[in-house]
Amino acid sequence: DAGITQSPRHKVTETGTPVTLRCHQTENHRYMYWYRQDPGHGLRLIHYSYGVKDTDKGEVSDGYSVSRSKTEDFLLTLESATSSQTSVYFCAIKPGQEYEQYFGPGTRLTVT
C-alpha cells in the first residue's frame, strides 16, 4: 500500500460543469502524476508534478489543469467537462526520478 487515495471514486457530471479530482498521498513523495485510461488505450499522462507548485504537461493535457499547493495533494481540474473526458483517472506517485511508480485506486468519471 503506497498510501495513495483518490476522491471521489465515482462521479457523474453534466457537460459544461467544472470538476475537481483529488489525489492524496501520505508519504511526502516528490513526484505525482495524473493519467487517464480509456478502452483500447494504455494509460496516458495528463499532467505531472515534481514538487510543490512545480507542474508540467503530459501528452493529453488539453482541457485539464492541475495544482499542487502542498506536497500531499495533487488536484486535477476539468474547467468545463466534456463527454470526451469520460474516463477512468489514475493518480500515481514516485519517490524520485529513478524510482518505480505506484498507483491509486482510480476515479471513474462520467460526463453526460
Partner 1 sequence: GIQVEQSPPDLILQEGANSTLRCNFSDSVNNLQWFHQNPWGQLINLFYIPSGTKQNGRLSATTVATERYSLLYISSSQTTDSGVYFCAAPDAGKSTFGDGTTLTVKP
Residues 43-102 that bind partner 1 (CB under 8 A): 43-45, 48, 50, 58-59, 88, 90, 97-98, 100-102
Nearer to partner 1, 75 or 88 (CB): 88
Q: Count interface residues toward partner 1 (CB under 8 A).
A: 23
Q: Do 34 and 46 touch, CB atoms closer than 8 A?
A: yes
Residue 96: what residue type? Answer: G
Closest CA to 11 of 77, 110, 88: 110
- Closest contact distance (angstroms) between CB of 75 and partner 1 is 18
Q: Does 105 bind partner 1 (CB under 8 A)?
A: yes
- DSSP, collapsed to helix, strand or coil, labels residue 74 as strand
Give the Cα separation of 102 and 31 in Å (integer): 11
- Closest contact distance (angstroms) between CB of 38 and partner 1 is 10
